């Protein structure tokens, strides 16, 4: 019997689609875990009172304040303070620190960029650098130059940095 099996061709099957299904399942499982614990898995990261209170308040505001198209048949609006237990009342003012808490922007960085400004800057870049690869730094410099030119035309003087 061993002699016969030496000359047989071995067929190896690999379940490709099942592997893909398993990978997608594990990926969505990680997404679900992150949605359940958005602040992590440490003991101090399970402080969800603030998140629940804020989400309840925002949902109520979206349903009433932002969409005041119909009168409220129930009567008076919901109170802003949500009832708490004795234990959760002590910690209701603990606001979790966001990962963007130290991220600061200047007034100039918060200004919106209009599509016309982008098109004008792209046109300026094409005029200056024909045949060269456009880069983001050139676009930003061209936008600043265009703003300075428009500012000096309006104010009659040149801005200095």
Name residue, tokens 């990680």: 30
Name the 3-class secondary structure at 47: coil
Distance (Å, rounded) from C-alpha 135 to C-alpha 138?
5
This model's pTM is above 0.85:
no
pLDDT at 139: 73
**157-to-107, 140, 152 alpha-carbon distances in Å:** 22, 22, 5
Distance (Å, rounded) from C-alpha 33 to C-alpha 40?
9
Q: 93, 100, 87, 101: which is closest to 54 by C-alpha?
A: 93
Which pair of tokens denotes residue 25? 């399942």
pLDDT at 50: 75
Q: 53, 50, 40, 55: which is closest to 95 by C-alpha?
A: 50
pLDDT at 97: 67
Q: Is 121 exposed, middle or buried (0-12, 13-18, 19+ CB in 10 A)?
A: buried
pLDDT at 111: 82
Distance (Å, rounded) from C-alpha 46 to C-alpha 158?
55
pLDDT tens for the chain, residues 1 to 161? 577 777 777 788 999 999 999 999 999 999 888 887 776 666 666 567 777 778 888 888 887 766 666 666 666 666 666 667 777 766 666 666 666 677 788 888 888 888 888 888 888 877 776 655 556 667 777 888 888 887 665 544 444 44
């Amino acid at each position: 019997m061993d002699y016969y099996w030496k000359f047989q061709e071995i067929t190896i099957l690999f379940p490709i689609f099942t592997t893909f299904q398993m990978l997608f399942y594990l990926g969505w499982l990680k997404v679900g875990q992150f949605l359940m614990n958005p602040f992590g898995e440490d003991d101090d990261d399970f402080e969800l009172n603030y998140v629940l209170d804020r989400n309840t308040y925002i949902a109520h505001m979206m349903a009433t304040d932002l969409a005041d198209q119909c009168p409220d048949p129930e009567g008076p609006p919901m109170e802003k303070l949500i009832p708490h237990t004795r234990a959760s009342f002590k910690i209701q003012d603990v606001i979790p620190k966001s990962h963007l808490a130290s991220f600061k922007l200047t007034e100039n960085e918060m200004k919106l960029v209009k599509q016309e400004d982008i098109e004008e800057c792209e046109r300026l870049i094409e005029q200056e650098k024909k045949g060269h690869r456009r880069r983001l730094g050139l676009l930003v410099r061209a936008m600043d130059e265009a703003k300075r030119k428009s500012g000096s035309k309006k104010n009659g003087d040149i801005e200095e940095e």
